[in-house]
């Protein structure tokens, strides 16, 4: 029986987000031998998709992606970094620890990972859009691709802190836009929102609102 430990690194890049391509020997039910590949990013730490809510609107980003001829409309997202899970006294975003709501009992994310991802969401949103978070809640989690890209991703719903001024963004995104909840189904049906992370996060969000 195979295990996670039998993978070997075939390629690795430390430029920007850490990326590693692993390979492991496998035998299929018919007896054919092959190499199964696995993509690992951010050292296997979970990522976060951010649902920033203000009134009846949700914040979307305009992102420039190399493989698209147009800007992509998607929810902000980011990768876990070590700063997101340091001790509260050293945590830039420690105020979230007092107001967080860990509402899920997840096989994908433990409590400490949920705390770290709340801080990831706050850091990424501040850096990319200038908005600060007043409250964060983990809605759920999913796996990007259960076959070759088993990246765990947490969906973090945030309420923007309107009492704190907006800071300058880091320029990673082209811009951001607040979209009314009522417009989302039409934008999805028209293919205006086609990013898989955004669609998965919106599905979890819809489930959370129905309970």
Task: Give tens-digit pLDDT for 47-77.
Answer: 999 999 988 999 999 988 887 778 899 999 9
* Ranges of each domain in the chain: 4-40, 45-209
User: Could you tell me the pLDDT band of residue 205, with boundaries at 50, 70 and 90?
Assistant: very high
- Mean pLDDT for 84-89 is 55
What does the pLDDT look like over 92-122, one tens digit per residue? 444 444 444 445 667 888 888 888 888 889 8
Three-state DSSP string of the chain? CCCHHHCEEEEEECCCCCEEEEEEEEECCCCCEEEEEEEEEHHHCCEEEEEEEECCEEEEEEECCCCCCCCEEECCEEECCHHHHCCHHHCCCCHHHHHCEECCCCCCCCHHHHHHHHHHHHHHHHHHHCCCEEEEEEEEEEEEECCCEEEEEEEEEEEECCCCCCCCCCCCCCEEEEEEHHHHHHHHHCCCCCCHHHHHHHHHHHHHHCC
Report pLDDT for 89: 42
For residue range 4-28, list pLDDT tens digits in order. 669 999 999 999 889 999 999 999 9
For the segment(s) 45-209, the CATH number from 3.90.79.10, 1.10.357.10, 1.10.490.10, 3.10.105.10 is 3.90.79.10
Query: Which pLDDT does position 100 carry in this prediction?
Result: 45
The answer to whether the predicted template modeling score (pTM) of the entire model surpasses 0.75 is: yes
The pLDDT value given to residue 4: 61
Task: Note the pLDDT tens digit of each residue in 141-192.
Answer: 999 999 999 999 999 998 887 777 677 777 777 788 999 999 999 999 999 9
């Amino acid at each position: 029986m195979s295990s996670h430990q039998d993978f070997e690194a075939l390629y690795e890049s430390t430029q920007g987000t850490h990326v590693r391509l692993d390979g492991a020997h496998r035998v299929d039910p018919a007896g054919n031998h092959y190499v199964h590949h696995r993509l690992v990013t951010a050292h296997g730490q979970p990522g976060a998709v951010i649902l920033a809510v203000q009134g009846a609107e949700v914040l979307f980003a305009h992102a420039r992606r190399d493989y698209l001829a147009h800007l992509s409309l998607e929810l902000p997202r980011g990768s876990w970094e070590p700063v997101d899970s340091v001790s509260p006294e050293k945590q830039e975003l420690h105020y979230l620890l007092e107001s967080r709501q860990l509402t899920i009992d997840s096989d994908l994310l433990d409590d400490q990972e949920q705390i770290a991802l709340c801080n990831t969401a706050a850091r990424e949103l501040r850096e990319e859009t200038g908005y600060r978070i007043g409250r964060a809640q983990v809605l759920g989690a999913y796996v990007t691709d259960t076959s070759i890209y088993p990246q765990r991703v947490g969906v973090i719903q945030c309420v923007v802190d309107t009492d704190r001024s907006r800071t300058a963004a880091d320029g990673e995104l082209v811009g951001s836009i607040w979209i009314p909840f009522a417009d989302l189904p039409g934008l999805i049906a028209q293919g205006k929102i086609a990013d898989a992370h955004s669609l998965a996060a919106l599905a979890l969000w819809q489930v959370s609102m129905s309970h």
